[in-house]
């Protein structure tokens, strides 16, 4: 085992808060902070019979970002329900995109220390809504703040093309620069405007072996 060589391979799932004035499927104002549950409505909290209406600006921001990431925009896309049960998701499902995402097959170029650039492939870009936020500051009790629920999120999924932490950081910096330049997100990581979920694996590098004097008989 000591003779084996390992190569780190990293892919990222990135969530970007889009800087729209209102939420993804309702007219609630999007403002960071504020009193808990002060910016909610029947759509945010999943009341029966409500009819969500898609935020046009969020869709336009998503298409603009996908084009900047050299993606192919889909001719047809749709919404899906991702079901899971958690206190910060009052509907018990998240409105997302699954098999027909907004855009696919893009790339982003990152600078390397050598002065060269490296192309990181992007599998897909799709829209979804954010969940609320659980707080644990009430002693033995937990609370749920739904001000964030329904915030437009852009999810960007990369191929596992990065091989060290420097490349991951370079991608984060470059993506932050792009979305800020486009004006689609404030990309303030301290406020959760960009969140990164790395998928890290080790690839074993094996050297081939040579076999001599093998008879065909």
The 10s digit of each residue's pLDDT in 194-205 is 999 888 888 776
Secondary structure class of 90 (helix, strand, coil): coil
* Measured CA distances, 146 to 51, 87, 135, 165, 170 (Å): 18, 10, 11, 34, 33
Confidence of residue 210 (pLDDT cuts 50, 70, 90): low
Return the percentage of the chain with pLDDT > 90, whole number. Answer: 42
Instruction: Name, of 7-11, 28-32, 65-69, 165-169, the range with top average pLDDT.
Output: 65-69
pTM of the prediction?
A: 0.83
Residues 172-178, mean pLDDT to the nearest whole number: 93
Q: Can you tell me the mean pLDDT for 159-180? A: 91
Locate the domains of the chain by residue range: 5-199
| More confident: 214 or 98 | 98
Q: Is residue 38 within 8 Å of residue 147, measured between CB atoms? A: yes
What is the pLDDT, as a whole number, of residue 14? 92
In total, the chain counts a number of residues equal to 217
Residue 132 to residue 192: CA distance in whole angstroms? 12
Per-residue pLDDT at 126: 95
Tokens of 98: 């699954």
Write down the pLDDT at residue 215: 54
Residues in contact with 104: Cβ distance below 8 Å, sequence separation at least 6, in sequence order: 71, 72, 74, 123, 124, 125
Higher pLDDT, 155 or 214: 155
**How do residues 181-195 score in pLDDT, each as one tens digit?**
999 998 888 888 899
Query: Cβ of 11: how many Cβ atoms within 10 Å?
Result: 19
Condensed to tens digits (0 to 9), the pLDDT of residues 3-39 reads 668 888 889 999 999 999 999 999 898 887 778 888 8
Q: What is the pLDDT of residue 128?
A: 92
pLDDT, residue 4, reads 66
Report which of residues 7 and 102 the model is more confident about.
102
């Amino acid at each position: 085992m000591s003779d084996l060589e390992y190569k780190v391979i990293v892919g990222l799932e990135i969530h970007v808060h889009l800087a729209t004035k209102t939420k993804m499927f309702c007219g609630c104002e999007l403002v960071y902070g504020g009193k808990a549950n002060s910016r909610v409505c029947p759509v945010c909290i999943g009341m029966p019979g409500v009819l969500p209406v898609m935020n046009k600006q969020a869709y336009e921001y998503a298409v603009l970002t996908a084009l900047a990431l050299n993606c192919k925009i889909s001719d047809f896309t749709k919404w899906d329900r991702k079901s899971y049960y958690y206190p910060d998701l009052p509907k018990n499902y998240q409105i997302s995109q699954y098999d027909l995402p907004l855009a696919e097959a893009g790339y982003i170029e990152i600078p390397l220390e050598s002065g060269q650039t490296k192309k990181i492939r992007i599998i897909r870009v799709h829209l979804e809504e954010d969940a609320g936020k659980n707080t644990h500051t009430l002693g033995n009790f937990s609370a749920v703040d739904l001000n964030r629920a329904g915030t437009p999120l852009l999810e960007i999924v990369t191929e596992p093309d990065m091989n060290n932490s420097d490349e991951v950081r370079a991608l984060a910096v470059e993506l932050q620069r792009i979305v800020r330049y486009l004006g689609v997100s404030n990309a303030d990581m301290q406020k959760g405007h960009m969140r990164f979920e790395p998928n890290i694996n080790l690839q074993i590098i094996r050297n081939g072996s040579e076999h001599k004097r093998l008879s065909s008989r």
